[in-house]
């Protein structure tokens, strides 16, 4: 028994044990401070949410303004992304139309088709005779009766060349078109991708316009939230003065207003997400029908998880940013006299 009593005594004389025992109160103190800090943040977040809940009309109006400002650029961005994917599919379906010279017979055209089929960069070639071209033009143009009055067929034979995937790039396509244009039997070589390039240029211009619009509307959201927080600060001016008189710091006073801006941004972002989803759902039917008329399998994509997260994060960031700017500017002007 004496030996067992000596062991705890020896353990207490251990310097490491003494050091741990000395640091125990400080660790408890730090843990208690952290718990108080987190509890106060939670209380401020819930209380600021309760204040917004007690004024539902003004909260809804402010959130609606933020939602419209966020939904407009995000909706346009998603539409441009869908159109960009569609143009990418069209770029993979590039074709080169070779208009042969007048007087080229069917046998010569087919012989030329076989020769060009062995060229590098050529995947397949489809031959359209002058008679086939005239029949297609009659069906698509609606001038069938007028074309019957022609003495001879003015349309040339056409070879439609589909390049390989390795040559399905702008530089390689231009080189292939130039090479085909130099053939003696070819009157004109036309790349059926010029309109796709123009569409891509318009998409790039649209993306730049959406970016500028998003920047302007983002500044508008900051101003709306900042003005709302400013009015809240003025309404609680006496409360802030009393709080400063009892020793509260600006960081302590700033905290509930920052959470108010966060809630405004979050509510506005959720409403913006809902507006974008409804907007795309209303456009999906007409756009799918338009794609069907053009024999395309294109369909409008919805809002995925990454874009949803981006909308929420943007709303929260703008809410916090607008509240921070407003509080930092107007809180310094309120001092106890």
pLDDT of amino acid 105: 82
Q: Render the burial of 292-317: b for 16+ CB within 10 Å, e for the rest.
A: eeeeeebebeebeeebbebbbebbbe
The answer on 201 and 317 residing in a single domain is yes
Cα 283 to chain centroid, rounded: 17
Long-range Cβ pairs for the range 208-212 (8 Å, 24+): 210/73, 210/76, 210/77, 210/80
Look at residues 167, 192, 217 and tell me which one is the last residue of a structural domain: 192
Shortest CA distance to 82 belongs to which of 296, 269, 293? 296
| Predicted pLDDT of residue 86 | 65
Does the residue 36 lie in any domain?
A: no
- Looking at the structure, do residues 186 and 228 belong to the same domain, yes or no? no
- Is residue 302 situated within a structural domain? yes
pLDDT averaged over every residue in the chain: 79
Q: Residue ranges of the alpha helices (H) in the chain? A: 2-12, 15-53, 56-91, 106-116, 130-141, 144-147, 170-181, 194-235, 237-245, 250-293, 305-330
Q: Report the distance separating Cα 22 and Cα 1, nearest Å.
A: 29
Domain boundary among 160, 192, 224: 192
Residue 301 contacts residue 78 (beta carbons within 8 Å): yes
**Domain check: are 59 and 138 in the same one?**
no
8 Å CB contact between 196 and 87 = yes
- Is the domain of 297 the same as that of 279? yes
Task: Say which residues have a Cβ less than 8 Å from residue 195's Cβ, sequence separation at least 6.
Answer: none
In a domain, 311, yes or no: yes
Domain match, 238 and 325 both: yes
| Whether residue 234 is found in the same domain as residue 114 | no
In total, the chain counts a number of residues equal to 337
Give dist(CA 107, CA 127) in Å, integer: 11
- State residue 142's pLDDT score: 61
Residues 86 and 104 in one domain: no
Q: Are residues 217 and 183 in the same domain?
A: no
173 and 239 both lie in a single domain: no
The whole-angstrom separation of Cα 314 and Cα 213 is 15
Task: In whole angstroms, give the CA distance from residue 163 to residue 166.
Answer: 8
Q: Of 192, 215, 236, which residue is a domain's last?
A: 192
Region for residue 121 given its phi and psi (left: phi exceeds 0; alpha: psi -120 to 50; beta: otherwise):
left
Domain, as residue range, for 170: 98-192
Looking at residue 61, its pLDDT comes to 92
159 part of a folded domain: yes
Residue 8 belongs to a domain: no
148: domain CATH number is 3.30.70.3040
Whether 25 maps to a domain, the answer reads: no
Rg (CA), the chain: 36
Per-residue pLDDT of the chain (337 residues; tens, 9 = 90+): 434 434 444 444 555 444 444 454 555 455 666 676 688 778 888 888 888 898 899 899 999 999 999 999 998 888 888 777 665 555 555 788 888 888 788 888 888 888 888 888 888 888 888 788 777 776 666 665 656 666 676 778 888 888 887 766 667 777 888 888 888 888 888 876 666 667 677 878 888 998 999 999 999 999 999 899 888 888 888 888 888 888 877 788 888 999 999 999 999 999 999 999 998 888 888 877 777 766 666 677 778 888 899 999 999 999 999 999 888 877 777 776 6
The Cα–Cα gap between 264 and 268 comes to 6
CB atoms within 10 A of CB 254: 16
| Residue 27 located in a structural domain | no
Query: How many domains does the chain divide into?
Result: 2
Pair 71, 207 in one domain: yes
Phi, psi of 262, deg, nearest 5: -60, -45
- The answer to whether residue 173 sits within a structural domain is yes
Residues 215 and 322 in one domain: yes
pTM for the structure as a whole: 0.65
Place of tokens 């960031």: 317
Angle between helices 237-245 and 194-235 (to 10 degrees): 70
212 and 276 assigned to the same domain: yes
């Amino acid at each position: 028994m004496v030996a067992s009593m000596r062991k705890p005594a020896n353990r207490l004389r251990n310097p490491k044990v003494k050091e741990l025992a000395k640091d125990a109160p400080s660790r408890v103190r730090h843990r208690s401070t952290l718990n108080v800090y987190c509890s106060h943040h939670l209380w401020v977040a819930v209380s600021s949410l309760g204040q917004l809940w007690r004024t539902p009309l003004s909260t809804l109006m402010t959130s609606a303004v933020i939602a419209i400002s966020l939904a407009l650029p995000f909706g346009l961005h998603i539409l441009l992304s869908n159109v960009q994917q569609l143009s990418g599919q069209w770029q993979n379906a590039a074709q080169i139309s070779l208009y042969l010279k007048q007087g080229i017979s069917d046998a010569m055209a087919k012989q030329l088709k076989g020769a060009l089929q062995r060229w590098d960069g050529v995947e397949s070639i489809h031959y359209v005779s002058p008679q086939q071209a005239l029949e297609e033009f009659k069906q698509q143009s609606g001038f069938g009766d007028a074309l019957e009055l022609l003495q001879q067929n003015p349309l040339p034979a056409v070879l439609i060349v589909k390049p390989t995937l390795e040559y399905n790039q702008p530089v390689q396509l231009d080189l292939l078109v130039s090479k085909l244009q130099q053939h003696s039997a070819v009157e004109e070589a036309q790349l059926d991708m010029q309109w796709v390039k123009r569409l891509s240029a318009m998409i790039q211009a649209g993306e730049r316009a959406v970016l500028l619009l998003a920047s302007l509307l983002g500044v508008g959201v900051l101003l709306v939230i900042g003005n709302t927080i400013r009015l809240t600060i003025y309404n609680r001016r006496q409360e802030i003065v009393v709080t400063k008189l009892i020793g509260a710091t600006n960081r302590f006073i700033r905290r509930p207003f920052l959470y108010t801006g966060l809630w405004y941004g979050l509510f506005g972002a959720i409403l913006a997400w809902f507006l974008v989803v409804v907007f795309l759902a209303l456009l999906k039917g007409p756009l799918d029908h338009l794609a069907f008329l053009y024999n395309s399998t294109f369909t409008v994509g919805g809002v995925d998880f990454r874009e949803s997260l981006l909308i929420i994060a943007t709303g929260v960031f703008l809410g916090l940013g607008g509240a921070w700017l407003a509080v930092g500017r107007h809180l310094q002007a309120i001092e106890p006299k």
